């Protein structure tokens, strides 16, 4: 839910930045209208409406790619003298670091959310899963390549310093190119951006309602109360999106730190039979410990608690040091170490309690996995053994 909160902030922050850039107006009224509209129709239609808007989202993305291509072909005149000066074609320490940072950040974050698992659970066969994953990854690769490359083209067309430090505008570089197009094209793009943001935001709302209702409250609290609580939660989302001076990239990196700390523990403790003795509480402790490890690394590396705190919320990716790289090493490694420490402490406590009470230590006993056939066979055995007047007695299990 923390990750979805950050995604909501990033979504509204991006829309606010685009509106400010393309129109010069305050984006707050548009954000309020967007949030109000999505809240109304998701409350009435739930996930079914989100599925419909997701189709709209796909169409809008394709239209944006077309406009991206047109804008680059007509307005982005690359100054070849700026290519070398930009430094984008030369190897840099940050570039080599990103070969590790981005796979860890993005890979763990996607696993932390639902797409991988939803695709796996929805596939009827392994073949369907392979086909679906291949199609999705191909489309994502094409879209991110085309849209993401606009940042490089914007720099080569205008210079790296035209709009200030690159860290402040890189996440909306595409729209700096759009701003040079005719007014009607800018208005059309702005309409599509709001539609795209709405489609994403309503999915996040529905997902948060579902997570809060099913996972947090175990379906014991009325759905109306859950929706009301999410509406209240959206208020700080809007405030943070408007007031925070963080880039969209920084917001995503914060959520990536959370997932980089949690996912290795989850995969080791939940999917590998070798570590069957690891329990849910150990995984949770490992995730929290990974974030703490990032803070400790920052304190040691920068020599202050303030530096450790700034590293946790990813103050900058473009610093000429090893802080961010170290954070994405400390998060998974520290998380796994804390998970096993938690497991050892828990087992030691269970052993001590067993010794004091004089009972057998059961902390390392493996739980028996009961197959469906075993349950059916047990039912038949009970029904055969307990009969009255030749009639089988229904089994209770």
pLDDT at position 129 is: 92
Written as six digits, the tokens of 293 are: 């490890």
- Please check whether residues 91 and 211 belong to one and the same domain: yes
Which 8-state DSSP code applies to residue 219?
T
- Please check whether residues 154 and 194 belong to one and the same domain: yes
pLDDT at 111 over 80: yes
Quick check: is 396 in a domain? no
Among the candidates 217, 245, 273, a domain finishes at 245
CA distance 112 to 252: 13
Region 301-312: mean pLDDT is 91
pLDDT at 162 over 70: no
Among the candidates 210, 245, 280, a domain finishes at 245
Q: In degrees rounded to 5, what are phi and psi of residue 277?
A: -80, -10
Q: Which distant-in-sequence residues (6+ apart) come within 8 Å of 394 by Cβ?
A: 383
Region 328-343: mean pLDDT is 96
pLDDT at position 372 is: 52
Q: CA angle at residue 197 from 228 to 109, to 5 degrees?
A: 85
pLDDT at 289 over 90: yes
Helix (H) or strand (E) holding 387: strand 387-388
- Please check whether residues 183 and 252 belong to one and the same domain: no
Please list the alpha-helical segments (H only) found in the chain.
2-23, 28-45, 47-74, 81-86, 93-112, 115-122, 126-148, 150-158, 166-169, 173-178, 183-210, 223-243, 248-271, 280-302, 305-312, 323-357, 372-385
- Please check whether residues 206 and 352 belong to one and the same domain: no
| pLDDT tens digits for range 179-204 | 777 788 888 888 888 888 888 888 88
Using only C-alpha atoms, what is the Rg of the chain?
A: 26
- Please check whether residues 173 and 304 belong to one and the same domain: no
- Please check whether residues 166 and 271 belong to one and the same domain: no
- Please check whether residues 15 and 101 belong to one and the same domain: yes
| pLDDT tens digits for range 145-161 | 887 787 788 888 777 66
- Please check whether residues 212 and 269 belong to one and the same domain: no
The dihedral sign for the CA sequence 68, 10, 21, 34: positive
pLDDT at 335 over 90: yes
Band the pLDDT of 167: cuts 50, 70, 90: low
Quick check: is 205 in a domain? yes
pLDDT at position 47 is: 75
pLDDT at 380 over 50: no
- Residue 135 CA, distance from chain mean position: 21
- Residue 358 CA, distance from chain mean position: 47
Q: Which distant-in-sequence residues (6+ apart) come within 8 Å of 377 by Cβ?
A: none
pLDDT at 29 over 60: yes
Among the candidates 245, 269, 295, a domain finishes at 245
Q: pLDDT > 70: what percent of the chain?
A: 90
Least confident segment among 14-28, 84-98, 153-167, 321-335: 153-167
Band the pLDDT of 249: cuts 50, 70, 90: confident
pLDDT at position 292 is: 95
Quick check: is 335 in a domain? yes
pTM: 0.77
Quick check: is 67 in a domain? yes
- Please check whether residues 232 and 307 belong to one and the same domain: no
pLDDT at position 387 is: 45
- Please check whether residues 217 and 253 belong to one and the same domain: no
Band the pLDDT of 395: cuts 50, 70, 90: very low
Quick check: is 375 in a domain? no
- Please check whether residues 122 and 6 belong to one and the same domain: yes
pLDDT at position 73 is: 80
Region 100-125: mean pLDDT is 86
For 300, the domain range is 246-366
pLDDT at position 246 is: 66
Region 39-58: mean pLDDT is 81
* Greatest mean pLDDT range, 108-117, 123-132, 264-273, 331-340: 331-340
Quick check: is 337 in a domain? yes
Count structural domains, the chain.
Answer: 2
Q: Measured between alpha carbons, how far is residue 226 from residues 43, 50, 236 in Å?
A: 11, 18, 17
**292: nearest Cα among 344, 340, 338, 341:** 338
Quick check: is 321 in a domain? yes
Written as six digits, the tokens of 224 are: 């109306």
pLDDT at 295 over 80: yes
Quick check: is 383 in a domain? no
- Please check whether residues 226 and 265 belong to one and the same domain: no
């Amino acid at each position: 839910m923390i990750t979805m909160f950050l995604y909501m902030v990033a979504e509204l922050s991006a829309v606010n930045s685009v509106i400010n850039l393309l129109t010069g107006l305050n984006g707050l009224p548009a954000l309020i209208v967007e949030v109000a509209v999505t809240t109304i129709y998701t409350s009435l239609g739930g996930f079914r409406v989100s599925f419909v808007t997701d189709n709209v989202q796909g169409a809008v993305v394709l239209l944006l790619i077309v406009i991206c291509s047109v804008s680059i072909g007509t307005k982005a005149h690359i100054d070849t003298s700026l290519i070398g000066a930009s430094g984008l074609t030369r190897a840099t320490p940050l570039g080599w670091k990103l070969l590790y940072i981005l796979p860890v950040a993005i890979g763990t974050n996607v696993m932390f959310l639902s797409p991988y698992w939803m695709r796996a659970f929805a596939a009827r066969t392994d073949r369907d899963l392979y086909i679906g994953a291949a199609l999705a990854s191909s489309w994502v690769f094409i879209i991110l390549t085309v849209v993401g490359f606009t940042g490089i083209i914007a720099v080569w067309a205008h210079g790296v310093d035209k709009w200030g430090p690159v860290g402040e505008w890189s996440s909306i570089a595409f729209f700096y190119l759009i701003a040079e197009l005719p007014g009607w094209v800018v208005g059309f793009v702005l309409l599509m951006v709001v539609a795209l943001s709405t489609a994403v935001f309503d999915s996040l709302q529905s997902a948060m309602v579902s997570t809060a209702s099913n996972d947090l409250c175990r379906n014991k609290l009325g759905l109306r109360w859950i929706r009301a609580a999410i509406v209240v939660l959206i208020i700080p989302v809007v405030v943070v999106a408007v007031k925070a001076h963080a880039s969209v990239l920084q917001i995503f990196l914060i959520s990536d730190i959370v997932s980089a700390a949690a996912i290795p523990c989850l995969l080791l403790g939940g999917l590998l039979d070798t570590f069957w003795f690891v329990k849910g509480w150990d995984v949770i402790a490992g995730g929290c410990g990974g974030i703490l490890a990032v803070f400790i690394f920052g304190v040691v590396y920068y020599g202050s608690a303030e530096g450790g705190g700034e590293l946790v919320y990813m103050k900058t990716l473009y610093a000429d040091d090893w802080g961010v790289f170290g954070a994405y090493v400390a998060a998974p490694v520290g998380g796994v170490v804390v998970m096993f420490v938690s497991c050892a402490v828990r087992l030691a406590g269970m052993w001590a309690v067993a010794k004091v009470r004089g009972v057998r230590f059961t902390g390392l006993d493996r739980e028996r996995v009961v197959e469906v056939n075993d349950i059916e066979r047990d039912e038949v055995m009970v029904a055969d053994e307990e009969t009255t007047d030749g009639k089988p007695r229904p089994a209770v299990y």
